[in-house]
């Protein structure tokens, strides 16, 4: 497996041209941050990730984790990296200064998430979920709870989790049966079993703060009857010291396709008989609303995983293609073997990975920037518009990026040929690690249904209409950019027209029969993702060309962004129009075959 190289030049370009980092730094509360400061931070962060986190990636895959008598053992290298993560202070960079954080924009947190996940997907799961737990607690916990838990979680001395899934419920969270029984002291006693709890038990941090969904007595059925509780691994004394071990334990860790060293736990609460001590967050029966705060944070983070695995797979595939000699490329001297990077088809695969990597980074960073504006802009109308834009982009960020991540990590194996199928090269690990991302934090089918069923209708459809209009508004700039951008302009216009037609069909037919809309939801999400990716690559290419024309930056690096945008427009963006048949086919064929005939 090749060494990881943080793609800082690519990150800086997207932060400037797509995120508009300078404007974000001007938002209230970010007065202590400017693009130059962020630039320096990126150098140090890249060095830390490459030297400390990246080396544990292969170790974790080979050693995995295990559980004995409820104690989970992870690779020693994971714990060492976590200790250095705490010592370095990186965990706190974008957290609230009132609780020890650095107060940087959330956009910088997204960069941190990318770099950690690219360096080691399995290791990065712990910090990512802790950030989500912090978000939920900061938004809904009372001041006493914040003072008790946030400072240690901000530094990553304590980690955080979310406990939703139960064996009988799966994605249907409303079917959960975990119980929360009131105690005389105002706390609760939690009973039940949770499954698939990432970093639910481990020894890398002093404490683990579980956020647990459960039902109080006489709660209404479904999601309306769910409340959210803090259930710490160790109870916290009044002076902040750790007290006795809480009444829950890890029954097992899952044996997974990938992410071998990320402990995915089955947790049982209340096995000791008295119940695990839990503390209600906010109001009773508001648990799903509160947990969605954490889940939306996690969905952006999971989308970043699609980018991360593609970046890492691309780096390894490119290094291999440059070194590996096989066959004679067209025009090469007779009798000599060529590096496979000189073969056109390998170039096609590498450029596909390159273009999708750039497109995903643009989308995810735009989503993060929209959240920063929604949180901090002084104009309420601007805040609302940014919040709406972030809501629209979130299912695309999560689903499109993770689907593409699986495809691109598979393409990385293909570039390696037979050696990619052999574990020793490390190429297969990227695919194995990627495969869970389309499943968790709401499967990608659920994301597609959310996009079609909820997001298209926001503000009477105005949020979607505004985005499509903004995409259309780039046409004049592309026209003025000349022949080098002609195919980008043509491809974007065609994909936009197809998406507008498909959107209109879904809105009209979904009103008559929602199953017609749901039948086309997943291909529509792919269509929309391809369009937004092409639009943002066009913007990135225009920005790169402006810099080339002004004599700024590395012309070779900037030129690759123009080529990648053109390649995407010509060879990948047509996928958008190709989805129209599937989007507009309706439900008829899907429901014509009897259910039992599928297994006949």
* DSSP conformation letters of 411-474: HHHHHHGGGGGSGGGSHHHHHHHHTTTTTSSS-HHHHHHHHHHTGGGGGGGHHHHHHHHHHHTT
Give the tens place of pLDDT for each residue, 348-402.
999 999 999 999 999 999 999 999 999 999 999 999 999 999 999 999 999 999 9
Instruction: Pick the last residue of a domain from 257, 285, 313.
Output: 285
Give CA–CA dist 277/225, Å, rounded. Answer: 20
Provide the number of structural domains found in the chain. 2
Selected residue with higher pLDDT from 535 and 165: 535
Residues 16 and 22 sit within 8 Å (Cβ to Cβ): yes
Could you tell me if residue 545 is inside a domain? yes
Give the tens place of pLDDT for each residue, 34-79.
999 999 999 999 999 999 999 999 999 999 999 999 999 999 999 9
Give the catalytic positions in this structure. Answer: 441
Could you tell me if residue 312 is inside a domain? no
Residues 540 and 485 sit within 8 Å (Cβ to Cβ): no
* pLDDT for residue 165: 86
Phi and psi angles of residue 162, each rounded to the nearest 5 degrees, phi first: -125, 135
Residues 386 and 290 sit within 8 Å (Cβ to Cβ): no
Average pLDDT over residues 199-221: 95
* pLDDT for residue 161: 94
Could you tell me if residue 41 is inside a domain? no
**Angle of helix 344-376 relative to helix 287-323, nearest 10 degrees?**
150
Could you tell me if residue 331 is inside a domain? no
Could you tell me if residue 547 is inside a domain? yes
Could you tell me if residue 338 is inside a domain? no
**Cα–Cα separations (whole angstroms), residue 285 to 137, 173, 281, 291, 346:** 16, 13, 10, 11, 55
Could you tell me if residue 175 is inside a domain? yes
Give CA–CA dist 180/192, Å, rounded. Answer: 9
**Cα–Cα separations (whole angstroms), residue 397 to 300, 438, 468, 491, 532:** 6, 11, 17, 22, 10
Give CA–CA dist 29/15, Å, rounded. Answer: 19
- Confidence grade of residue 168 (pLDDT, cut at 50, 70, 90): confident
Give the tens place of pLDDT for each residue, 286-339.
998 887 766 777 789 999 999 999 999 999 999 999 999 999 989 889 889 999
Average pLDDT over residues 201-218: 96
- What are 192's two structure tokens? 């039940």
Question: Which range marks the domain in which residue 169 is found?
Answer: 55-88+120-285
Instruction: Pick the last residue of a domain from 253, 285, 317.
Output: 285
Q: What is the pTM of this model?
A: 0.96
Residues in the chain: 600
Residue 584 CB-half CA count within 13 A: 15
Could you tell me if residue 308 is inside a domain? no
- What are 122's two structure tokens? 């399995």
pLDDT exceeding 90 applies to what percent of the chain? 89
Instruction: Pick the last residue of a domain from 249, 266, 285.
Output: 285
Residues 201 and 265 sit within 8 Å (Cβ to Cβ): yes
CATH code at 229?
Answer: 2.40.110.20
H or E stretch at 521: helix 521-549
Q: Does residue 169 carry a pLDDT above 70?
A: no
* Close Cβ partners of 142 (under 8 Å, ≥ 6 residues apart): 282
Q: Does residue 432 carry a pLDDT above 70?
A: yes
Beta strands at 264-269 and 276-280: parallel, antiparallel or unpaired: unpaired
Residues 376 and 30 sit within 8 Å (Cβ to Cβ): yes
* Close Cβ partners of 100 (under 8 Å, ≥ 6 residues apart): 92, 150, 151, 154, 155
Q: Does residue 174 carry a pLDDT above 90?
A: no
Phi and psi angles of residue 173, each rounded to the nearest 5 degrees, phi first: -60, -30
């Amino acid at each position: 497996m090749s060494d990881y190289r943080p793609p800082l030049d690519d990150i800086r370009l997207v932060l400037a041209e797509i995120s508009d980092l300078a404007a974000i730094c001007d938002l209230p509360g970010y007065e202590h941050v400017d693009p130059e400061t962020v630039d320096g931070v990126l150098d140090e962060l890249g060095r830390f990730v490459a030297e400390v986190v990246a080396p544990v990636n292969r170790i974790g895959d080979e050693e995995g984790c295990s559980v004995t008598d409820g104690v989970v053992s992870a690779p020693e290298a994971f714990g060492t990296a976590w200790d250095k993560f705490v010592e370095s202070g990186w965990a706190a960079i974008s957290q609230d200064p009132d609780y020890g954080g650095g107060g940087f924009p959330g956009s910088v947190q997204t960069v941190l998430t990318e770099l950690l996940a690219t360096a080691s997907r399995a290791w990065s799961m712990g910090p990512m979920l802790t950030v989500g737990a912090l978000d939920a607690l900061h938004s809904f916990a009372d001041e006493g709870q914040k003072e008790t838990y946030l400072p240690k979680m901000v530094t990553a001395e304590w980690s955080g989790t979310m406990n939703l899934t139960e064996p009988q419920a799966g994605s249907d969270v409303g079917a959960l049966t975990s119980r929360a029984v009131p105690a005389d002291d105002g706390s609760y006693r939690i009973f039940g079993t949770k499954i698939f709890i990432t970093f639910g038990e481990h020894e890398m941090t002093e404490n683990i703060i579980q956020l647990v969904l459960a039902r109080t007595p006489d709660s209404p059925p479904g999601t309306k009857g769910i409340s959210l509780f803090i259930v710490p691994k160790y109870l916290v004394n009044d002076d902040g010291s750790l007290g006795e071990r809480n009444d829950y334990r890890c029954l097992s860790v899952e044996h997974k396709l990938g992410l071998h060293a990320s402990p995915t736990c089955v947790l049982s609460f209340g096995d000791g008989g008295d119940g695990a001590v839990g503390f209600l967050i906010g109001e009773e029966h508001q648990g799903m609303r509160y947990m969605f705060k954490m889940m939306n944070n996690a969905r952006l983070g999971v989308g970043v995983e699609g980018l991360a695995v593609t970046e890492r797979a691309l780096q390894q595939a490119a290094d291999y293609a440059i070194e590996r000699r096989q066959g004679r490329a067209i025009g090469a001297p007779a009798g000599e073997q060529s590096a496979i990077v000189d073969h056109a088809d390998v170039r096609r695969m590498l450029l596909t990975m390159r273009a999708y990597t750039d497109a995903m980074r643009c989308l995810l960073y735009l989503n993060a920037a929209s959240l920063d504006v929604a949180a901090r802009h002084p104009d309420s109308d601007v805040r609302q518009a940014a919040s709406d834009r972030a809501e629209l982009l979130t299912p695309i960020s999560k689903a499109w990026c993770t689907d593409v991540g699986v495809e691109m990590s598979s393409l990385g194996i293909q570039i390696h040929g037979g050696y990619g199928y052999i574990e020793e090269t490390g190429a297969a690990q990227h695919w194995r690690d990627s495969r869970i991302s389309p499943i968790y934090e709401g499967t990608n089918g659920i994301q597609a249904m959310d996009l079609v069923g909820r997001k298209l209708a926001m503000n009477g459809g105005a949020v979607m209409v505004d985005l499509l209009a903004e995409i259309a508004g780039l046409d004049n700039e592309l026209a003025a950019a000349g022949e080098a951008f002609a195919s980008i302009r043509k491809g974007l216009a065609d994909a936009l027209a197809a998406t507008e037609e498909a959107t209109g069909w879904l809105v009209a037919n979904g009103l008559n029969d929602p199953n017609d809309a749901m039948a086309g939801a997943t291909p529509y999400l792919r269509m929309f993702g391809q369009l937004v990716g092409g639009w943002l690559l066009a913007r990135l290419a225009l920005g790169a060309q402006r810099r080339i024309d002004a004599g700024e930056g590395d012309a070779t690096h900037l030129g690759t962004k123009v080529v990648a945008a053109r390649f995407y427009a010509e060879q990948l963006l047509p996928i958008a129009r190709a989805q129209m048949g599937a989007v507009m086919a309706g439900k008829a064929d899907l429901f014509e075959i009897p259910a039992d005939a599928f297994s006949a």
